[in-house]
Structure 1
Amino acid sequence: MVRKKTKNKEYTDRKPKEKGKRLRKEQIIEAMLKVFQSNPKTVYNYKQLCNEIGIENQVQKLQVVDYLYDLAAEDIITQIDPGRYRYNNLGVVAEGLFARRSNGKNSFLPDDGGTPVFVAERNSRHAMDGDKVRVQLLAKRKGAEPEAQVIEVLESKERSFVGKLQVGKEYAFLTTEDKTLANDIYIPKNKLKGGKNGDKAIVHIIEWPDNAKNPIGEVKDILGVSGENDTEMHAILAEFGLPYSYPETIEKEADRIPDRIPEDEIAKREDFRGVTTFTIDPKDAKDFDDALSVRKLENGNWEVGVHIADVTYYVKPDSIIDKEAFSRATSVYLVDRTIPMLPERLCNLICSLRPNEEKLCFSTIFEMNEEAEVINSRIHRTIIKSDRRFTYEEAQDIIETGKGDYKEEVLRLDALAKLLRARRFKEGAIDFDRYEVKFEIDEKGKPIQVYFKESKDSNKLVEEFMLLANKTVATSIGKVPKGKKAKTFVYRIHEAPDPVKMENFATFIHRFGYKLKVEGKQGEVSKGINKLLDSVKGKPEEDLIETLAVRAMQKARYSTENVGHYGLAFTYYSHFTSPIRRYPDMMVHRLLERYMEGERSVPQKKYEEMCEHCSSMEQVAANAERASIKYKQVEYMSDKLGKVYDGVISGVTEWGLYVELNENKCEGLVPIRDLDDDYYEFDEKNYCLIGRRHKKEYRLGNPITIQVAQANLERKQLDFTLAD
């Protein structure tokens, strides 16, 4: 039934008092609602209602008449004819998606993009998260949120859940921390697939009978013993619907691809095998998909080649390898492993630009002067032979000391990259230069140390030339003469920030004494953001303000509709430089080849749908990566219970304070129930909790000292208490 709030009182299905006893107003309204809701098609007058409720007192009978007027005025009931009423649940029928939440706050998301509508569990028909449903919108009542009731599940989204098996003699359950399901899943003994008590498993829901509290499921896969590193990493991937193994049929298909390059293919390509070329990558990388070449030209300028692995030479459209790559859309990088987009033979062997091996590439080649101005550029299929594989640390050592292999080439590229970078910021690019949290782990996958990876000159060297290549490729297709329409292409776009978010951000940082201009030309706003980021460097509020600045921005995504890239201040931008690990780059390579051969434009609608899929999978992969970091942070802190740390309040919610520790950037929650010196209220506008009596404030960005209270690996959650 529908819950009703009137004058801050909540009414449910409680029974009224015995007959003849005088009832309070709240009890009468509660009982009236129950009668109407239990018999929504029945018409009642006040006498019939009084009889149903058990009211015999004449005064209270007259009160029922008044309350009928009130309920009709609030549109909860409808007057059919004078003095006769019926429950007004004959609301609008609509279709959309069902969003299930374990806290009971389910909602209906209309197809027309309207406001989400609350759906009580009793009105859900056991619809699962993501199901397409038809609902009846219940009558909106004064002072209450609108509600909906699921009347039909139109399309049931196949959902699997990851959790821990509890196996008894007669039954088994899967307990899960999934945020979309509050109920354990009942598993018949013949559907366990060999699962044992304490195993982590993936379970698919078979059915959820109307009168059953728990859904019924079957085990799809056993991930292993709960708590073991491989089990938990696979569980994170499964939780986000990501694959944790590569299909054997596709691995076998990749094994059939020859690694020898035919002579007739070499003859078609520009030959860079005699030009100094090298890769610069992380020390643990195996998939080298970009290389740089550099040589001095006779006119005194520099030729810089950005050479990208020619993946699409080997992976043909609509092949089973291509279909699997598109489904994945991206490689996924967890704390201790990479789940590749392509089979290992391709990503780590055939396509990888390994030193002293001839490799096919798609390249952008630039002629640049000493000021790093591009005199001209070209895009070509090439063949290269890398002379050296550098790690970022090795290249950084050359930049800092001026000594090492190919020092002249490395130093020249570094000098050009620094000029490119300075010009980019001058033109309005935003300098989000953030650190990454990394773990040193032992042979069993247990984290033994946390460290922070910061971007140094060697990283920035590679970054600048990749940005230049991506920009050049996008410009070559997107920039056309006036009056001509550009061919369909895959752009990496970043829209301008939401003005409301920027205004809120500016208001927040004002408390720290900073100002930010949020209106005007892009260059002016961007310069203001850069100036702000420079001014907070090294200060206690640096991490907080950088984080909030990023949140104020839109998310970059893939699209065939080019709107430019706000953060980079580029009019045209695409992703071309990482086809081993990103499917959009493969799309760009194929479109480039097609258009270079003079063929007509591809259908925009089809490619926009592909872009949307890739953007969606990129977000899923990022969420899985964050979950693996969170798991390792909780695991790292699990033997530090009782220890005291200094931190900063990184989040404020109605349920408590999130605190990020200064020493290792691990984040945990101080539950609001543990703030027992006062009754604290959440001030959403000012990002703080305020004590009702003593007015003590816990504000976002404030320093705080905590004690580690609990480390829950199942929930990937740290609980803190305030230190004495």
Structure 2
Amino acid sequence: MEINPPDQAAPEKTARKNRRKRGKKPQGRGGEITSRIGPPPAGASSVQPPAKPGKSIGPGPKSPPSGAYPPHFALDVVQSLLERCPEDFISGTFRINAKSYKDAYVSHPDPQCPDIHVYDFLDRNRAMHQDQVVVQLKAQDQWNILHEKIQEYLDEGQPAEQGPEDLALMASALDLTGSGRGLRGPRGLPRSARTRPESGGGSHCAYEYPRATVMAHPLWKKFVQPTAKVVCITEAQHTRLAAGRLRKFPDGNPNFALFAPEDSRVPRLKIQRGDCPPEFFARPQDFEHMLFIGQMIRWDMGHTALGKIAKVIGSYDDIAARSIANLAEKGIDHSDFPESIPEHLPPLPFVIPESEIQNRRDLRPDCVFTIDPKTARDLDDALSVTDLSDDRFKIGVHIADVSHFVKEDDPIDVIARDRATSVYLIDRVIPMLPRVLCEDLCSLSPAEDRLTFSVEWIMNGNGDIQEEWFGRTVIRNCCKLAYEHAQGMLDHPDKDWTPEELPPVEFPWTYKDLSNRVNTLNQLALKLRSKRVANGSLRLDNLKLAFTLDKETALPVGYQLYEHRHSNKLIEEFMLLANMRVAQKLNDSFPNLAVLRCHPPPKEQPLMKAANLLNRCGVPMNVSSSKAIAASLEQAARERSPQEYLVITNNLTKPMELARYFCAGCENPDNFRHYALAVDLYTHFTSPIRRYPDVLVHRLLDYALTNRTPDWNEFTIQKWVNHCNTKKTSAKAASEFSSLMFLALFIKNCGPIQADAIVCDVGDFAFEVLIPSVAVVKRVYLDRLANCTIKVITPRKELAIQFPPHPPEFPDPHVQSIRFLSKVSVKLFFDGTPHDFQAVLERP
């Protein structure tokens, strides 16, 4: 891991060498590999907006002192530039490559174009990962030529399709094997003839193509990567916090200490002596294993910012300290709720007032039940089904009525809006709402009257909706089932269940009643899912680990893969339906205020890159639509092993965009669609205990049902949901880090672990494998293979590794081919780095 950015930008040759050591080239979204033909210029000393003929933009920022960063444009200036010069100025989310901190990216609004590349610190201009920024594109003669992409394009075509521009590209190519220009030859040249020496660099491309020839090609936009510099940070989403360690400067500076962050995307910090622990300068060795939270204060020039120590966390090796650091650097509030919270809630035990019941549909006589994980305490959804005969069923989805207890802008609402989501770590949950709400007042606990917001449908046996009703209700959960219990009912529909096998069920309902209803719901769910798939719905599942923790130490003693059963899919199907129907209701009622959720289509180039790789490896992949992808995946599931299928889905997940919340009045209706679900409108209604957008949706639905209009405006709503998008991303990152940290601790204490793996990407100095048994993708570095000879085969992205004889067990040498979808064996082991583990290739 790169921890400390160097003090000076290395020349391109050194930068390229460093990237080779990491086994990868700079990557954009979806793991796109790019190739640079030279370093971008350092740029002018100030960021001056381009003047258009006949347009006066006004004075730009003054030139900064030598070595300082250019000042940012004012927000009103960049807003004008975005409107008047959209071809030169682009806004977006700033993404820094964690494995190559000098490379950062912003998505290009044109789906035909690769991500915009921002290289090194000066052009980053103090922007941090996940910040909202405005970038100014550089001149086209400073854009990156994507040599590998050109080579793939030429390799995949047919000779009969060659145009004059294609022939010009091939004729002008520079052969990096040293043979000279113009030696690409016809497209029929065997790939095996185009191999590079073992001493070659990190690029897979055997050729380079002249800029002038590339820019003259009709598909030039696909072959070049725009470069840019940051001119404004419109919203600083990064916390400016990082976990790291404190050390003295090498020159013995008596006034400042050096804070080295663990995250290579964060600059090193200069900490004033007065902000350091009192004994640090006298006894720095006492703090070598201490973990600190550093906070950036000011970053005016160079690669080192001014900062302060925000918190001393504890020992670097302590998993509890590292968990706290994980939350802090991601900006997740894990503090206790204020003691005044009970003042804003009804007293316990809560009894629903009769007047409240009179204003709701009373569903307490119905058979309502929950299906959740065994350990769940925040039960926010319940189901009911009634057979109306004549192939008609009444289905109910009942969601905890959080908005009844959490009023707009009250202290609890303000905290919930800021937290935006609950955060699920391996050893704890950071709730969005106080536990008295999550686990008592709002939780749909068994044998308790509870307030809910419900959607009810009358549908036939084919899942066709005939009638629909939205409204506030009162329910009584007759049984708290776990997914395992419901799955047992699906597997054994005729079984007579006993109290020893299932949780208590409240009279007058019986286990037979529950089993019949679970099976009825499942039959309807299968019909609903079949319709979604027919409409083009796409599911790309990722593996997830569940850990068993020691009750006393809370340390991991075991793990297993999380199993997505039919009972999970049953619940999922009705939650999806409720979310879709509520989205339609809100959009009809408040076309400018509706809180919705979209999933943009994947960017074309990364998706085609993934599809081309799969097709070359014998996995037919049509990516023309979500429906086509789903059909190709269904075929792959039949023809490939489960392990290979996981790599295939992982490969297709990389180009996918993130789903996001938005306000309908602030988005073009053309962008409302949810790509993966293949629906025009979608929202989140079903989890208000753990997601703040659901609370907003509940409030809007209540306004719609009571014929009122909220005193909201679309810009405020968009600001709220943007915050929710950021917090959701942070929560996901914190959860994934927690899982990796506990896995590393298990390997340290119980390892090493031998595991089967499938190759999912290949570089010249490393390759990546998906390890299904532990649900991770891990990089395997080739320099760990002692005495092995490694040959890089270009452009097939293939390695030939020759293992030497090792008598008596291996008397002869052995050559192993490493390519996409190769099956390998790896050893996972602890190498001394706390909370991390490594993978090394095992000899077959």
TM-score (norm 2): 0.66
Rounded Cα–Cα distance in structure 2 between residues aligned with 1:477 and 1:149:
40
**In the alignment, is residue 700 of structure 1 matched against residue 820 of structure 2?**
yes
Map 1:653-692 onto structure 2 (within 5 A).
Answer: 653=763, 656-674=766-784, 677-678=788-789, 687-689=797-799
Distance 1:500 1:119, change over 3 A: closer
Q: Shift of the alpha carbon at 1:273? A: 0.7
Map 1:34-183 onto structure 2 (within 5 A).
Answer: 95=73, 105-106=101-102, 115-120=116-121, 159-164=240-245, 174-181=259-266, 183=268
Matched-pair identity in %: 28
Distance 1:105 1:190, change over 3 A: closer
Provide the aligned C-alpha RMSD in A. Answer: 4.4
Asked whether the equivalents of residues 420 and 691 of structure 2 are also in contact (C-alpha less than 8 Å), the reply is yes
Matching residue's letter, 2:571: V
Asked whether the equivalents of residues 143 and 227 of structure 2 are also in contact (C-alpha less than 8 Å), the reply is no
Q: Shift of the alpha carbon at 1:308? A: 0.3
Provide the residue aligned with 2:740 in structure 1: 630
Asked whether the equivalents of residues 104 and 120 of structure 1 are also in contact (C-alpha less than 8 Å), the reply is no
**In the alignment, is residue 306 of structure 1 matched against residue 397 of structure 2?**
yes
Q: Shift of the alpha carbon at 1:479? A: 5.1
Distance 1:466 1:183, change over 3 A: same
Q: Shift of the alpha carbon at 1:281? A: 0.3
Q: Shift of the alpha carbon at 1:105? A: 4.6
Rounded Cα–Cα distance in structure 1 between residues aligned with 2:247 and 2:9:
35
Q: Shift of the alpha carbon at 1:321? A: 1.3
Q: Shift of the alpha carbon at 1:237? A: 1.4
Could you list the per-position Cα deviations for residues 335-393 of structure 1 after superposition, in whole angstroms to 9, with x for gaps in the alignment? 22211111111111110000111111110011122333222110010011111111111
In our comparison, the structure showing a higher alpha carbon Rg is 1
Matching residue's letter, 1:553: M
Distance 1:349 1:4, change over 3 A: closer
Rounded Cα–Cα distance in structure 2 between residues aligned with 1:461 and 1:439:
24
Matching residue's letter, 1:351: C
Provide the residue aligned with 2:597 in structure 1: 492
**In the alignment, is residue 508 of structure 1 matched against residue 613 of structure 2?**
yes
**In the alignment, is residue 354 of structure 1 matched against residue 455 of structure 2?**
no
Matching residue's letter, 1:513: G
Provide the residue aligned with 2:21 in structure 1: none
Q: Shift of the alpha carbon at 1:458? A: 1.2
Asked whether the equivalents of residues 94 and 135 of structure 1 are also in contact (C-alpha less than 8 Å), the reply is no
Q: Shift of the alpha carbon at 1:250? A: 6.2
Provide the residue aligned with 2:706 in structure 1: 597
TM-score (norm 1): 0.76
Aligned match for 1:387, one of 462, 467, 478: 478
Could you list the per-position Cα deviations for residues 11-41 of structure 1 after superposition, in whole angstroms to 9, with x for gaps in the alignment? xxxxxxxxxxxxxxxxxxxxxxxxxx9xx9x
Asked whether the equivalents of residues 791 and 799 of structure 2 are also in contact (C-alpha less than 8 Å), the reply is yes
Aligned match for 1:430, one of 538, 542, 551: 538
Provide the residue aligned with 2:622 in structure 1: 517
Q: Shift of the alpha carbon at 1:500? A: 2.7
Distance 1:654 1:178, change over 3 A: farther
Aligned match for 1:471, one of 560, 564, 580: 580
**In the alignment, is residue 376 of structure 1 matched against residue 467 of structure 2?**
yes
Describe the SS at the equivalent of 2:654. Answer: helix
Q: Shift of the alpha carbon at 1:174? A: 4.4
Asked whether the equivalents of residues 640 and 708 of structure 1 are also in contact (C-alpha less than 8 Å), the reply is no
Q: Shift of the alpha carbon at 1:556? A: 1.8
Gaps of 5+ in 2: 1-7, 18-41, 46-66, 74-90, 110-114, 146-225, 281-285, 498-510, 803-813
Provide the residue aligned with 1:48 in structure 2: none
Q: Shift of the alpha carbon at 1:580? A: 0.5
Provide the residue aligned with 1:188 in structure 2: 273
Rounded Cα–Cα distance in structure 1 between residues aligned with 2:454 and 2:290:
49
Rounded Cα–Cα distance in structure 1 between residues aligned with 2:466 and 2:307:
64
Matching residue's letter, 1:284: T
Rounded Cα–Cα distance in structure 1 between residues aligned with 2:527 and 2:771:
37
Could you list the per-position Cα deviations for residues 451-482 of structure 1 after superposition, in whole angstroms to 9, with x for gaps in the alignment? 112211211111111111111111223358xx
Map 1:547-566 onto structure 2 (within 5 A).
Answer: 547-559=650-662, 560=664, 561=667, 563-566=672-675
Distance 1:154 1:108, change over 3 A: farther
Distance 1:185 1:260, change over 3 A: farther
Asked whether the equivalents of residues 427 and 569 of structure 1 are also in contact (C-alpha less than 8 Å), the reply is yes
Rounded Cα–Cα distance in structure 1 between residues aligned with 2:230 and 2:542:
45
Asked whether the equivalents of residues 269 and 306 of structure 2 are also in contact (C-alpha less than 8 Å), the reply is no
Asked whether the equivalents of residues 5 and 143 of structure 1 are also in contact (C-alpha less than 8 Å), the reply is no
Rounded Cα–Cα distance in structure 1 between residues aligned with 2:390 and 2:97:
66
Could you list the per-position Cα deviations for residues 664-685 of structure 1 after superposition, in whole angstroms to 9, with x for gaps in the alignment? 33443322433564566596x7
Matching residue's letter, 1:401: H
Distance 1:532 1:301, change over 3 A: same
Asked whether the equivalents of residues 278 and 388 of structure 1 are also in contact (C-alpha less than 8 Å), the reply is yes
Rounded Cα–Cα distance in structure 2 between residues aligned with 1:9 and 1:349:
57
Distance 1:655 1:599, change over 3 A: farther
Matching residue's letter, 1:554: E
Rounded Cα–Cα distance in structure 1 between residues aligned with 2:232 and 2:686:
47
Provide the residue aligned with 2:638 in structure 1: 535
Rounded Cα–Cα distance in structure 1 between residues aligned with 2:603 and 2:95:
25
Rounded Cα–Cα distance in structure 2 between residues aligned with 1:133 and 1:321:
31
Provide the residue aligned with 2:177 in structure 1: none
Rounded Cα–Cα distance in structure 2 between residues aligned with 1:659 and 1:337:
29
Q: Shift of the alpha carbon at 1:433? A: 4.7
Could you list the per-position Cα deviations for residues 46-71 of structure 1 after superposition, in whole angstroms to 9, with x for gaps in the alignment? xxxxxxxxxxxxxxxxxxxxxxxxxx
Asked whether the equivalents of residues 294 and 303 of structure 1 are also in contact (C-alpha less than 8 Å), the reply is yes
Rounded Cα–Cα distance in structure 1 between residues aligned with 2:235 and 2:535:
49
Q: How many residues align?
A: 639
Asked whether the equivalents of residues 193 and 220 of structure 1 are also in contact (C-alpha less than 8 Å), the reply is no
Describe the SS at the equivalent of 1:638. Answer: helix
Rounded Cα–Cα distance in structure 2 between residues aligned with 1:183 and 1:423:
53
**In the alignment, is residue 584 of structure 1 matched against residue 686 of structure 2?**
no
**In the alignment, is residue 341 of structure 1 matched against residue 432 of structure 2?**
yes
Q: Shift of the alpha carbon at 1:569? A: 2.4
Q: Shift of the alpha carbon at 1:585? A: 0.8
Distance 1:670 1:479, change over 3 A: same
Asked whether the equivalents of residues 259 and 268 of structure 2 are also in contact (C-alpha less than 8 Å), the reply is no
Describe the SS at the equivalent of 1:571. Answer: coil
Rounded Cα–Cα distance in structure 1 between residues aligned with 2:470 and 2:235:
47
Describe the SS at the equivalent of 1:387. Answer: strand
Rounded Cα–Cα distance in structure 1 between residues aligned with 2:16 and 2:688:
59
Provide the residue aligned with 2:200 in structure 1: none
Could you list the per-position Cα deviations for residues 408-466 of structure 1 after superposition, in whole angstroms to 9, with x for gaps in the alignment? 22222222222222222223222435542211121323222221122112111111111
Q: Shift of the alpha carbon at 1:639? A: 3.9
Describe the SS at the equivalent of 2:268. Answer: coil
Q: Shift of the alpha carbon at 1:490? A: 1.4
Q: Shift of the alpha carbon at 1:142? A: 7.9
Matching residue's letter, 1:505: A
Asked whether the equivalents of residues 292 and 307 of structure 1 are also in contact (C-alpha less than 8 Å), the reply is yes
**In the alignment, is residue 453 of structure 1 matched against residue 565 of structure 2?**
no
Asked whether the equivalents of residues 240 and 620 of structure 1 are also in contact (C-alpha less than 8 Å), the reply is yes
Could you list the per-position Cα deviations for residues 588-638 of structure 1 after superposition, in whole angstroms to 9, with x for gaps in the alignment? 111111122223475333323322222222112111111111112222222
Rounded Cα–Cα distance in structure 2 between residues aligned with 1:460 and 1:131:
36
Rounded Cα–Cα distance in structure 1 between residues aligned with 2:106 and 2:387:
61
Distance 1:536 1:573, change over 3 A: farther
Rounded Cα–Cα distance in structure 1 between residues aligned with 2:394 and 2:467:
10
Rounded Cα–Cα distance in structure 2 between residues aligned with 1:577 and 1:507:
38
Q: Shift of the alpha carbon at 1:272? A: 0.3
Rounded Cα–Cα distance in structure 2 between residues aligned with 1:577 and 1:93:
45
